[in-house]
Structure 1
Amino acid sequence: MKIILILVLFNLQSGSEVITAEFDDARACDLAALRTFQGVTAEPDMRPLDPAEGASAIEGTVIAHDSDGAEIGMYSCNPSRSDRREG
């Protein structure tokens, strides 16, 4: 089963950047997200997203914060829907 990374880097000056990639397992996906955020801050603080009441989010969404607590991005690693077969 393939795992899809959907990652958004927040940038108020130039606009947010969306990154997608495909991995063979969830651990590789999570590590790729961590490395991406480490390019912004040496030790990103990764926390599960707690959506506001009435809002929905992709299951497993994680928010990354910098050392000052500011949100620097978010990501999710989920199974590829194209791998799901009915039958």
Structure 2
Amino acid sequence: MKIILILVLFNMQSGSEVITAEFDDVEACELAALRTFQGVSAEVEMRPLEPAGATIAGTVIAHGNDGAELGMYSCNPARSDRREG
């Protein structure tokens, strides 16, 4: 099963940047997301997205060492257009 990374880097000056990539497993996807955010801030803290007290499954917010939000990502299984039957 392929895993799809959808990552958004927040940038108030030039606008947000969306990055997508495909991986063979969740661990590789999450490591790629971490490395991307480490390119912006050496220290990164990942926390689940929790709007209004509810968690959005699989969506994570990255915070820099100053507490600012760097972006968000999710690693989810790719959906296949093939239908078996």
Q: TM-score by structure 1 length? A: 0.88
Shift of 1:52: 2.4
| Residue-pair matches, total | 85
1:34-53: CA deviation from partner (whole Å, max 9, x where unpaired): 00000000011100110226
Verify: 1:34 aligned to 2:34, yes or no.
Answer: yes
Q: Which runs of 5+ in 1 are unaligned?
A: none
Alignment root-mean-square deviation, CA: 2.0
> Which residue of the partner structure matches residue 44 of structure 1?
44
Q: Which runs of 5+ in 2 are unaligned?
A: none
CA 1:43–1:56 in 2, change beyond 3 Å: closer, same or farther? closer
CA contact (8 A) 2:45 2:65 kept: yes
1:25-79: CA deviation from partner (whole Å, max 9, x where unpaired): 00000000000000000011100110226x884x310000001111010000000
CA contact (8 A) 1:2 1:83 kept: no
Q: TM-score by structure 2 length? A: 0.90
